[in-house]
Amino acid sequence: MQIKRLIGINGGTFDPIHFGHLRPALEVLNALHLDEVRFIPAYRPVHRDTPQVSAEQRCEMIELAIHNQPKFKLDRIEIELGGPSYTVNTLRALKEREPDATFVLMMGSDAFAKFDTWHDWKGILALANLVVTHRPGEPMPSEGEIGRLFHQRWVPNLTQDAGQILDLPITQLDLSATALRSYLSHGDSVDYLMPESVARYIKEHQLYQ
Ligand code: ATP
């Protein structure tokens, strides 16, 4: 089959967005020759606390952060869907909206290690391919359900619309939104950890104090 539009799906809470989200997304975009990467903020993440900041403000920060990269797009689909944000529902809705697109769900190796606990993970693989990002040289899973899945589905290049798994070594920055929220709440500098425009927005709106 021929892959048409190849779209990377980068989901998260983005509370707030930082360089640890942006640099890996750029490396995946370039390595897989994606047509675009969609940043999809969760409306109500399933496995964690409700974000501190409104969905609208998280979107505004994403927009500021991706402004200079035309292939990065904000997609409000999980906010429009409302309710708890299950990836399988998001992909179903995306597929309905864009039946000709091929979706590649981006996730870190830590998330992939628990992928078999995700709600309807088989449904996810029926709708999208996966790209598992990891530190260079980090071993990929070889045991258990995830090891088997990786072994069965791994491909060097995507050739199908869904169900294939790629892995990609990327530059990982030891950075999390949790750490950034902690810096911000203590009044510490977040320079060089997130785009300046986002830091300015946070200051102006007095977020994460
Ligand atoms: P929090 O600290 O609030 O849990 P976070 O920064 O870890 O947030 P989210 O905004 O929830 O992350 O986004 C999750 C997605 O971003 C996941 O796919 C995660 O693997 C990826 N991600 C987050 N930080 C990094 C990082 N430093 N390097 C690579 N990927 C990252």
Please compute, for residue 122, the number of CA atoms within 13 A of its CA located in the half-sphere on the CB side: 1
Q: Mean pLDDT across the chain, nearest whole number?
A: 94
- CATH classification at residue 145: 3.40.50.620
Q: What is the dihedral of CA 93, 99, 101, 102, to 10 degrees?
A: 80
Structural domain span for residue 95: 86-171
pTM above 0.85, yes or no: yes
Structural domain count of the chain: 1
The preferred substitution site among 13, 37, 124, 138 for testing ligand 1, maximizing ligand atoms within 8 Å of CB, is: 13
pLDDT digits (tens, 9 = 90+) for 65-98: 999 999 999 999 999 999 888 999 999 999 999 9
Report how far residue 113's alpha carbon sits from residue 18's, in angstroms, rounded to the nearest whole number. Answer: 23
Residue 154 lies in a domain: yes
If you measure from the C-alpha of residue 35 to the centroid of ligand 1, how many angstroms do you get, rounded to a whole number? 22
Centre of ligand 1 from the C-alpha of residue 18, in Å: 9
Q: With respect to residue 162, please indicate whether it lies within any of the assigned structural domains.
A: yes
Burial letters 182-195, b for 16+ CB under 10 A, else e? eebeeeeebeebbb
Low-confidence ranges of the chain (pLDDT < 50): none
